[in-house]
Structure 1
């Protein structure tokens, strides 16, 4: 019996895979639980069209991320923080501050997509890694200055 998976199932397949299972497993568990649907010819055509449209959307998102990455390569940020005499800042610079500094320069980046190579806890220069897409990553240098 062939079925189309609606979600990832361990040891069976991933979402939108067409897999062959025993009829009892398909009819009594996978289909009633909503994990799969019967792979009829019309369902296969709908699946092919959905995959095609999803691929088009993913390509558009990737192109937008690449365009943003080329603009971000020339950006350098300055983040102000309260610091002691030794150069150690009180607390640390976080991703929210980087996202706000990018927003002030006209770039909309989600703070959850920002990571640091090393946690900025001192005054100096650091690098923020921006994961704009699973295949598009860019590094933005920023400087922590004492206020």
Structure 2
């Protein structure tokens, strides 16, 4: 039986895939749990149209993310932290403080979009972080942690 997946199904496929499964699996599990629909001709036409429209929207979002990435790289970001005389930070600097510093520069970045190679930074200096603006646009920025 041919079906169209409405969401990702482990070991079967991802959303909007047309897959062939046994009839009982489709009728007893996938269709009642709203994970799939039967792949009729009309459903396939609707799917093709949805994919075409989504591709246009995705291209626009990717273009916007690329522009934001170029602007973020151009900005110099510094985060103030209380430190000891040896340069160690009391506590740590993590994605929350970095997101706040970036947002003060005029960008809308969520802390969940930011990843720091080490979980938290405990020393003063220059560090790098990756910001995922889009599934295809990941920018690497440098920021400074300075003593207050």
TM-score by length of structure 2 reads: 0.90
Alignment of 1:144 onto 2:139: no
Q: Is the 8 A contact 1:75 1:140 kept in 2?
A: no
Q: How big is each residue's C-alpha offset from its partner over 1:12-43, in whole Å with a ceiling of 9 and x where there is no partner?
A: 22221112222233223322222211111111
User: Structure 1 residues 46 and 127, CA, compared in 2 at 3 Å: closer, same or farther?
Assistant: same
**Structure 2: gaps (5+ residues):** none
Alpha-carbon RMSD across the aligned residues, in angstroms, is 1.5
Runs of at least 4 residues off by over 6 Å: none
1:121: which partner in 2? 122
Write the distance in 2 (CA, Å) between the matches of 1:60 and 1:20: 33
Q: Give the C-alpha shift of residue 6 in structure 1.
A: 1.4
Where 1:125 maps in the other structure, the secondary structure is: strand
**Structure 1: gaps (5+ residues):** none
Q: Give the C-alpha shift of residue 5 in structure 1.
A: 1.4
Structure (1 or 2) with the greater strand fraction: 2
Write the distance in 2 (CA, Å) between the matches of 1:137 and 1:29: 37
- Bigger mean CA deviation after superposition, 123-132 or 78-87: 123-132
Alignment of 1:49 onto 2:49: yes
Q: How many residues align?
A: 147
Write the distance in 2 (CA, Å) between the matches of 1:14 and 1:64: 26
2:136: which partner in 1? 135
TM-score by length of structure 1 reads: 0.91
Alignment of 1:30 onto 2:30: yes
